[in-house]
Amino acid sequence: MQPNLTLLVLIAGAVGGAASAIIGGCFTLWNNWDARQSEERRQIRELAVKVATENWRHQTEIGKEWAQAGAQVTLSSLDVYLIHAMSLVKALDGSVRTPEQVAALLRESHAMYEAAKKEVAARKKN
């Protein structure tokens, strides 16, 4: 018995349509996931810049008050605060869960802060 050619064409068309729908759906899901991840990273960077700017502004105001009172004050530039805030933002992704991880993150963050301060101070001397 010979298979009906029309039935074979219908089956091939249905399988092809299903395969293309599955492949297209997978790409759409991946694209949506990637867009969401990018948006989260953008929002975290915005938050870090806002926190760094506010921290810098606050420290600058305190430094000016102390300087008016006669204290010797050295103020760091905004880029130092940005480096510090960006290194601390790592905790926002949920990867820092233990006290040891918190301690390691803070050590790394403060090391980056100190390195940035030294580099800025060296640039100011030149």
Checking if the pLDDT of 33 tops 90, the result is yes
Question: What are the extents of the domains in the chain?
Answer: 5-125
Report whether 100 contacts 83 (CB < 8 A): no
Residue-wise pLDDT tens digits, 37-90: 899 889 888 988 998 999 999 999 998 888 888 888 777 888 888 888 888 887
* Amino acid sitting at position 90: K
- What residue has token string 């233990």? 98
Here the tokens at position 85 are: 């805030």
Q: Please report the pLDDT score of residue 120 as a whole number.
A: 84
Residue 103: Cβ within 10 Å count: 11
Distance CA 109, CA 31 (A): 33
Give the separation between CA 58 and CA 76, rounded to whole angstroms. 12
